[in-house]
Structure 1
């Protein structure tokens, strides 16, 4: 059966050490290790502007390549530096059994610290949008502006098919030794009944990679499956982020509804909500030009 790709070189376990005799001490050490922020994989496109860079955070099953074309367009349009980032358990970033928004926020904070970025514009889609919200609420001084793409600070389990996608991907069975074209075709055939939309199937198949004569899922399905309910919810916050905020939804999507407006207003009192016509959940892929225009217009607005 197709297996999930294991830990990257950044997350290799340390050499074996003698067992800790004191059980409580061992538990504390394990918790400390698990909560350690991970060094994320990222790509940078430099721009001449001294203004804070744009940092793109992708959604579940995505990677930094989702925003590759748009990143170039944003550099040309705004002159700002643009970073595209792989979340933990996605793309080329390390795998970890822990999957929470506070952990992913800590990962991005570590990256900003490593790059000496004291201020940025966070642009997050879906899971990446929730990560961006958490970071903004935890460390508002790091965030010049916030853009949340087709996601709100609410429970999304009633509007998503992601649990079915995870189960379908875990059930895919590809024999060893097949060429890539054959392996991809077999995976696509096995996903078709659960994922009938070709664009979504192709998106999921971007995670199919070759490893040791076998095709595997690059995304860490085990960790995602274990924490999926947490990914569909949002942490409790009593603080707010008062910086300029844009919630940019797709007109054909249900991820940002009028039921979410009170919580958006409570946590993000300066937020505006817009919908891109003829766009579904993947707004930036469905209508890239309109997405680009909406974000650029938002960046040009004066602070309140």
Structure 2
């Protein structure tokens, strides 16, 4: 279980697959209160034929470190890992907050990103009224109850309750300070007026039943992308675990031979 020390945080990561495999490496970035294991299905699929990298963001999973006030600082962590692993160019795949981090990297270091995949993510943070009320009440309810309410909303109707409970337990392990500080970072995130600068081929994958970051918000973002493919899947916000095979298939079609270095 390798770790990289970056600005007071020990970032846990996985670096798998053949160095001489097909195409540039795939780098997976998870979302708020999640961890690198959100990508288990995708890693298992791709690691047999190409290099794949994933990390636990600071304060998440098996990584240490406090929360940071901006998405740019999280992007700096990912770039530090790419430098450490000597990855000059990659396919960057980000879910939710991880998609915000990925957009930030694509804007600040376009030469590092061959293709961009945004899963359940947007370019300007805008909460639904229900989500806004939930966040406003965050200081009035026990932290574990707050986390449970957020995670429960992230899944489409019909997703197994026992699986949701597993994700709630894992998310509740993220320190409160990290959760709330990064909530502030996401709330401040806004690159909607700049996404037209991203010339990297982009895949936008979204859950039809996503009420955390609704489809209409993604479509608003999509109109600004000069070169984007859109894939809507019958799922909620947690696509990597709700519909892992469908997401993996969409990724496979998008990165394919066109990504060969």
Instruction: Give the aligned partner of residue 201 of structure 1.
Output: 165
- Equivalence map 1:219-298=2 (5 Å): 219-236=174-191, 238=194, 240-254=197-211, 255-266=213-224, 268-276=225-233, 278-298=234-254
Q: Which moved more, 1:63-72 or 1:103-112?
A: 63-72
Match of 2:105 in 1: 135
Q: Hey, what does 2:158 align to over in structure 1?
A: none
Q: List structure 1 segments (4+ residues) > 6 angstroms apart after TM superposition.
A: none
Q: 1:66 aligns with which of 30, 38, 51?
A: 38
Q: In the alignment, which residue of structure 2 is the partner of 1:29?
A: none
Q: SS where residue 116 of structure 1 aligns?
A: coil
Cα distance change, pair 101–171 in 1 and its aligned pair in 2 (3 A):
closer
| Contact kept? 1:99, 1:224, Cα under 8 Å | no
Q: Is there any run of 5+ residues in structure 2 with no aligned partner, and where?
A: 156-160
Q: 1:159 deviation in Å?
A: 6.9
Q: Could you tell me which residue of structure 2 aligns to residue 28 of structure 1? A: none
Moved more, 85-94 or 163-172: 163-172
Report the alpha carbon displacement of residue 201 of structure 1 after superposing the two structures with TM.
Answer: 3.1
What is the RMSD of the two structures over their aligned residues, measured on CA atoms? 3.3
Whole-Å Cα distance in 2 between the matches of residues 224 and 202 of structure 1?
A: 18
Give how far 1:152 is off. 1.3
Structure possessing the higher radius of gyration over alpha carbons: 1
Question: What is the alpha-carbon distance in structure 2 between the residues aligned to residue 298 and residue 37 of structure 1?
Answer: 36
Give the direction of change, closer, same or farther, for the CA distance of 1:292–1:168 in structure 2 (3 Å limit): farther
Secondary structure at 2:81's aligned position in 1? Answer: helix
Query: Is the partner of 2:47 in helix, strand or coil?
Result: helix
What is aligned with 1:3? none
1:152: which partner in 2?
122
Alpha-carbon distance between aligned partners in 1 of 2:87 and 2:148, rounded to the nearest angstrom:
41
